[in-house]
Structure 1
């Protein structure tokens, strides 16, 4: 965990943001010992789009034909 003063954070903010994105914990401390923590915000999962698998799934022509194993139950 690295500590930075407010003045250091103001001059090096892009560097601190890059470090936080790579998993480092960054604390920015004021003169009266109050601190804030710089952490990355997790990215939301990608949304699925309806119809994106079109053409990838095919059904056999006899898909809904009765199965021979169930013949005795269908009489």
Structure 2
């Protein structure tokens, strides 16, 4: 893991992004204090099949019914 200062990160951002995309983790610091981390975005290697949870998840008929007043009040929402 490499640490670069903020000025260097601004000056060489394109190169740092290329390095991060290649798998390197880069920490960006200001006055020696780490502020952010530049890391590669992980890519999904396989597509998820549709219906993966079919038969395992049940949604009740009233799942979208208004909340009871006490629960709605706890979340600061309007009750049905």
Query: What range is the shorter-chain TM-score in?
Result: 0.5 to 0.7
Structure-2 separation of matches of 1:10 and 1:28:
10
Identify the residue that residue 22 of structure 2 maps to in structure 1. 22
Question: Secondary structure, in 3 states, of the residue corresponding to 2:40?
Answer: coil
Q: Any stretches of 5+ residues in structure 2 without a counterpart? A: 49-80
Relative contact order, higher structure (CA 8 A, sep 6+): 1
Structure-2 separation of matches of 1:45 and 1:17:
21
Structure-1 separation of matches of 2:17 and 2:34:
20
Structure-2 separation of matches of 1:47 and 1:38:
26
Q: Any stretches of 5+ residues in structure 1 without a counterpart? A: 49-75
Deviation at 1:34, TM superposition (A): 3.2
**Aligned Cα root-mean-square deviation (Å):** 2.0
Question: Secondary structure, in 3 states, of the residue corresponding to 2:28?
Answer: strand
Structure-2 separation of matches of 1:32 and 1:25:
17
Question: Secondary structure, in 3 states, of the residue corresponding to 2:33?
Answer: coil
Structure-1 separation of matches of 2:2 and 2:33:
14
